[in-house]
Amino acid sequence: MILSVANLQKAFGEEVIFTDVSFQVQEHEKLAIVGNNGCGKSTLLKVIVGQEPSDRGSVVFAKDSTYGYLAQYQDADYKGSIWDYVYHAREDILEMERMLRGMEADMTTKTGAELEQLMESYHNLSHRFSLLEGESYESRVTGILKGLGFVEEDFSKTMAELSGGQKTRVALSRLLVSSPDLLLLDEPINHLDLRSIEWLENFLLNYKGAVMIVAHDRYFLDRTVQRVIDLSGKKAHDYKGNYSAFMQQKDLFMLTQQREYEKQQKKIAHEEAVIEKLQSFNREKSIRRAESRKKLLDKMEVMDKPVSEDTQMNLTLSALSTSGKDVLSVSGLAKSFGDRQLFSDVSFEIKRGDRVALIGDNGIGKSTILKIINGLIPADRGVVKLGTGVTIGYYDQEQQLFDEDKTLFEEMQDTYPNMDNTRVRNTLAAFLFTGEDVYKKIRDLSGGERGRISLAKLMLSGANFLILDEPTNHLDMESKEILEHALQGYDGTLLYVSHDRYFVNQTAERILDLTSLGLAEYLGNYDYYLQKRETIRTDFGLANDAKKTEETAVSEASGKMDWKEQKARQAAQRKLDRAREQIEEKIEALEEKLSELDAAFLDPEIATNSAKLNELGREHQKIQTELEELYEEWETFA
């Protein structure tokens, strides 16, 4: 065991953030802390490392163990270079190297017993230095910095020259170089591009120590963790497996919890009715029986009501009109800012019903392409042509299309002047803006709130071509899933930029990969893209210009052959989902029947009728057997 957390509680004022949080972390274990925004994930990490006090409970690290903590925001006040800051993360290794070099110099001046003693000390220190991989320390520092997106020209920069995101990457580099027994990482990939995220995934998979991660990237969690701690309902719930396994287990857990709660509530209501009836007889014997039953009822451990899903957004997307078959044609597009060319000769087409994700490294020009399509900035060269009957709904990740002086209510009303006040309020409520929240000024909104109001406007637009720029930024995991389901049911055409690979995997049927060497196309989701990319790409770029045309053609041909197979798999998955829903409906009906039988057993008239009791007992056993079989069948879908 590397860490023990027992009965932690934390409140800010009268608001309890979490309570009775207990878990242990074993050596070499990789786990995630997940939960909706505001549930206390970051606060929990701060309590564990001592940056926040707990109100109750204990945090104990294993004796002589080390830990490293990466906060979401960095304010490193270091005057030297990036290289020096990261390189000096392990002063113990650097000191050993200095001592070894000093011993080597002394060997030239020592003789006899002094030399023998020095040689023995040198041998022992060399062995310790080798165990710490000191010989490769400098190359390890270089590899980590490059893996997290820095180039050698950056190494001499100072912290003062860096953006907030770059400072976080430097802090993460130093942390990885320091190699503590336990890494505690709060949103480590927020400022990484896809290539760097993939590098970090592989690094953590091979990391010898334990890792605890707070992250919203579900694809990242699927690849890196084998255990999930869910902070929901102010409690910690522990699940084995990666994020996808956790979601399946949580669905079953919530279903079971809801049924157990409803069953107990019915039992309580029944007992209260029986007690009231006994008391109404007003006889000494019946009153004693009522008191006895009431004592048993008072001793019952009443379940908390499972957390309601009423706090989720209500998002439905539909097109009010149908576009022509040809939705968008982009030909020979090029854009530069000053001397820096983002891209050139970018060409692609989008047909009605396409679901296309545009991916690529940070700064490659993905958002710029979307802005050019929407007419927000001009292209240097190239043609953008929209098809017949196309209406665009645009989601801007920078949220620059708002009037900062308007309230939420005014923003919605001015955008849709024909919508009455009641519908404005209902729409805002669907996106968690209720009461006085609707009179907040746009300028006072958080990033997440701006994202939600943008999605609300998008829902009402009725556009048949949605263009989305990082739509999952600032959304918690449940809200991301709601958006995914809405897009899966959307009957229009979709083009978006996203670094959220899980989201891409769920919603894209075609991927455009923008690199410095051009645009590669893959006819499938993100998993398909990864599979095919390995055969035609090296180092996240086309192998070379000479092979580019041939290999892209191979990829596209292969993609077209697999397209029908993928559509068939998706149809099969929908059938499986429906079959699981039907089983859940049967389980609910049988649970209801069991509750009715339990109530019948307590009926005084039936209690004295042995024939009826036997009949009810046989029926009860039959339903129990059916339920066991249904639960086993349900688990085969999980």
Q: Is the pLDDT of residue 307 over 70?
A: no
Three-state DSSP at 351 gives strand
Question: Which H or E run contains 518?
Answer: strand 518-522
β-strand 227-232 against 235-240: which pairing, if any?
Answer: antiparallel
The residues that bridge with 469 in the sheet, in sequence order, are 497
* 535 contacts: CB under 8 Å, gap ≥ 6: 554, 555
Q: Decide: 407 and 438 in contact? Cβ < 8 Å.
A: yes
Task: Report residue 547 CA to chain centroid gap.
Answer: 36
What pLDDT is recorded for position 543?
47
What pLDDT is recorded for position 631?
59
What pLDDT is recorded for position 168?
87
What pLDDT is recorded for position 566?
55
Confidence of residue 569 (pLDDT cuts 50, 70, 90): low
Nearest in space to 384 (alpha carbons), one of 344, 342, 332, 341:
332
Confidence of residue 556 (pLDDT cuts 50, 70, 90): very low
Q: Which residue has the higher pLDDT, 242 or 627?
A: 242
Q: Is the pLDDT of residue 560 over 50?
A: no
Q: Which residue has the tokens 């074993």?
A: 26
Confidence of residue 514 (pLDDT cuts 50, 70, 90): very high
Q: Is the pLDDT of residue 545 over 50?
A: no
Nearest in space to 230 (alpha carbons), one of 527, 438, 46, 31:
31
Q: Is the pTM of this model over 0.75?
A: no
β-strand 30-34 against 392-395: which pairing, if any?
Answer: unpaired
As a whole number, mean pLDDT of residues 335-360 equals 93
What pLDDT is recorded for position 536?
52
Nearest in space to 203 (alpha carbons), one of 30, 380, 391, 387:
30
Return the HEC string of 210-230: EEEEECCCHHHHHHHCCEEEE
- ∠ Cα 360 168 221 (to 5°): 60
What pLDDT is recorded for position 258?
82
What pLDDT is recorded for position 636?
58
Lowest mean pLDDT among 174-188, 314-328, 370-384, 529-543: 529-543
β-strand 326-337 against 340-351: which pairing, if any?
Answer: antiparallel
Mean pLDDT for the chain overall: 84
Q: Is the pLDDT of residue 542 over 70?
A: no
Tokens of 291: 């008191």
Q: Which residue has the higher pLDDT, 403 or 386?
A: 386
What pLDDT is recorded for position 377?
93
**Distance from C-alpha of 51 to C-alpha of 272, rounded to nearest angstrom:** 49
What pLDDT is recorded for position 311?
52
Q: Is the pLDDT of residue 561 over 60?
A: no
As a whole number, mean pLDDT of residues 266-286 equals 80
- φ, ψ of residue 62 in degrees (nearest 5): -60, 150
Q: Decide: 257 and 235 in contact? Cβ < 8 Å.
A: no
Q: Which residue has the tokens 């600032």?
A: 474
* pLDDT tens-digit readout, 196-233: 898 999 999 999 999 999 988 889 999 999 999 999 88
The residues that bridge with 337 in the sheet, in sequence order, are 340
Confidence of residue 312 (pLDDT cuts 50, 70, 90): low
Q: Decide: 490 and 317 in contact? Cβ < 8 Å.
A: yes
Residue 349 per-residue DSSP state: E
Q: Which residue has the higher pLDDT, 318 or 571?
A: 318
**Distance from C-alpha of 100 to C-alpha of 111, rounded to nearest angstrom:** 18
Distances (CA, A) of 208 to 164, 204, 264, 279: 29, 8, 46, 67
Q: Is the pLDDT of residue 535 over 70?
A: no
As a whole number, mean pLDDT of residues 485-503 equals 92
Q: CATH 3.40.50.300: does it fit domain 3-90+132-241?
A: yes
% the chain with pLDDT above 90? 44
What pLDDT is recorded for position 554?
38
What homologous superfamily does CATH list for 326-543? P-loop containing nucleotide triphosphate hydrolases (3.40.50.300)
User: Angle formed by the axes of helices 137-147 and 91-106, to 10°?
Assistant: 150
Burial class of residue 388 (count of CB atoms within 10 Å of its CB; 0-12, 13-18, 19+): exposed
Burial class of residue 563 (count of CB atoms within 10 Å of its CB; 0-12, 13-18, 19+): middle
What pLDDT is recorded for position 396?
82
What pLDDT is recorded for position 541?
44
Sign of CA dihedral 156, 159, 160, 162: positive
**Distance from C-alpha of 370 to C-alpha of 375, rounded to nearest angstrom:** 9
What pLDDT is recorded for position 637?
56
Q: Decide: 269 and 599 in contact? Cβ < 8 Å.
A: no
Task: Report residue 386 CA to chain centroid gap.
Answer: 34
* pLDDT tens-digit readout, 396-438: 876 556 788 889 888 888 888 888 888 888 888 877 788 888 8
Pairs from 87-93 (Cβ < 8 Å, separation ≥ 24): 87/138, 87/141, 87/177, 89/141, 89/174, 89/175, 89/177, 89/178, 90/132, 90/137, 90/177, 90/178, 90/179, 92/132, 93/129, 93/132, 93/134, 93/137
As a whole number, mean pLDDT of residues 187-200 equals 87
Three-state DSSP at 262 gives helix
Three-state DSSP at 494 gives strand
What pLDDT is recorded for position 398?
63
Confidence of residue 336 (pLDDT cuts 50, 70, 90): very high
What pLDDT is recorded for position 75?
64
Q: What is the CA radius of gyration of the chain?
A: 31
**Distance from C-alpha of 335 to C-alpha of 368, rounded to nearest angstrom:** 8
Return the HEC string of 48-67: HHCCCCCCEEEEEECCCCCE
* pLDDT tens-digit readout, 586-628: 877 887 787 788 777 777 777 777 778 778 888 888 887 887 7
As a whole number of Å, the end-to-end CA separation of the chain is 31
* 91 contacts: CB under 8 Å, gap ≥ 6: none
% the chain with pLDDT above 70? 88
Strand-by-strand arrangement of the 381-386 sheet? 340-351, 326-337, 381-386
* 211 contacts: CB under 8 Å, gap ≥ 6: 29, 30, 31, 182, 183, 185, 204, 224, 225
